[in-house]
Amino acid sequence: MGKQLLVLNDDSLEKVQYTTENYQLYVRKGNLSLFNFRAPAHWHMDIEIVIILSGEMDYYIEGTVVHLTKGEGIFINPKKIHYGYSEDHKECYYICLLFNPLVLSINGAFNDKYIYPFFEGNGVSYIHLKPEISWNNQICELVQKIYDLPNNLAYPVYALGNIFQIVGLYFENISSNQKKSSDQNIDILKKMVGFIQDHFKEKITLDDIAREGNVCKSQCCKVFNKELHRSPIGYLNDFRLDKSIYFLLNTDKSIVSICYEVGFDNPSYFSETFKKNYGSTPSQFKTNTIAGINKAKKIISEHENDPR
């Protein structure tokens, strides 16, 4: 299982590459090391549920960090900026389920009450799913069931049935008055991060990023440092490096070609920045990581029939 390149819509929301395209469902097992222990900050119109199979990771959601361990999970509402990471580079194996609430669309009255509220911020940004809480554990089990369903003609029917149960548990247990006020910094960050993700191949300056958020350069840096613990240009370089890893591991492009493909304008600077971040040159990283990915795939395979 290789890394997937983020694809963005015109509004800078991630365009999810569904595993069941016609039904807007995505379910996969993965491991954090394939993202170099830090996924890019992103958001989309889908509900995302991540269940930890083994190991641990921290999960950032709109200014909050939640620590997840084996058996726990995270339920993230649409349009919430989020990413998983491990500062200590600890491995984590997980199941990730994404689905667009519109797959459950029935009629106007049903949609008004149960579908559109997800897009309008009907409650909290996320739920920290804990196995000791019965309805949380039921959601975790339902995600596992969706992953385990046989891939046949009836798959979408059974998968959607389980998703209806997940949404039912959500509305049964989450009060509609649990609204959180919008954080202006998060709204600004979304604009600036979205701009970077959509234009990372181009020449981008700090002025460009700040202008997108309609803030001064100083405020731009403060928002990035507060929410993502890095500078705007640092995030830009990290995002470009993340994309370079995709090309390194999934294509036969040369290092120089990849350098320009992801927005660096100097191969020497690209290699220098890459080594500073990953401890090896791009070529060395490719050789070592492919071996590591093959090992990780074997471990993931061994987890297929393991009890959670």
Q: Give per-residue pLDDT as tens, 212-270.
A: 999 999 999 999 988 888 899 999 998 899 889 889 888 899 999 999 999 999 999 99
Q: What is the mean pLDDT of the chain?
A: 84
CB 202 within 8 A of CB 160: no
Residues sharing a CB contact under 8 Å with residue 280, sequence separation 6 or more, in sequence order: 288
Please give the pLDDT value at position 11. 39
**pLDDT tens digit string along 161-175?**
999 999 999 989 986
Quote the pLDDT of residue 14.
47
| Residue 191 predicted with pLDDT over 50 | yes
Domains 21-173 and 184-292 share a fold: no
pLDDT value, residue 293: 62
Homologous superfamily (CATH) for 184-292:
Homeodomain-like (1.10.10.60)
Helices 267-278 and 232-250: crossing angle in degrees, nearest 10, is: 90
Q: What is the reported pTM? A: 0.72
- The domain covering 21-173 belongs, at the CATH homologous superfamily level, to Regulatory protein AraC (2.60.120.280)
Choose from 37-51, 70-84, 176-190 the range with maximum mean pLDDT: 70-84
* Three-state DSSP string of the chain: CCCCCCCECCCCCECCCCCEHHHCEEEEEEEHHHHCCECCCECCCCEEEEEEEEEEEEEEECCEEEEEECCCEEEECCCCCEEEECCCCCCEEEEEEEECHHHHCCCHHHHHHHHHHHHCCCCCCEEEECCCCHHHHHHHHHHHHHHHCCCCCCHHHHHHHHHHHHHHHHHHHCCCCCCCCCCHHHHHHHHHHHHHHHHCCCCCCHHHHHHHHCCCHHHHHHHHHHHHCCCHHHHHHHHHHHHHHHHHHHCCCCHHHHHHHCCCCCHHHHHHHHHHHHCCCHHHHHHHHHHHHHHHHHHHHHHCCCCC
**Residue 134: pLDDT over 90:** yes
Q: Out of 122-136, 197-211, 255-269, 278-292, pick the least confident.
A: 278-292
Q: pLDDT of 86-107, one tens digit each?
A: 999 999 999 999 998 888 888 8
What is residue 302's predicted lDDT score, i.e. its pLDDT?
63
Average pLDDT over residues 42-60: 93
pLDDT tens, position by position, 143-158: 999 999 998 889 989 9
Residue 9, pLDDT > 50, answer: no
Q: Where are the domains of the chain?
A: 21-173, 184-292
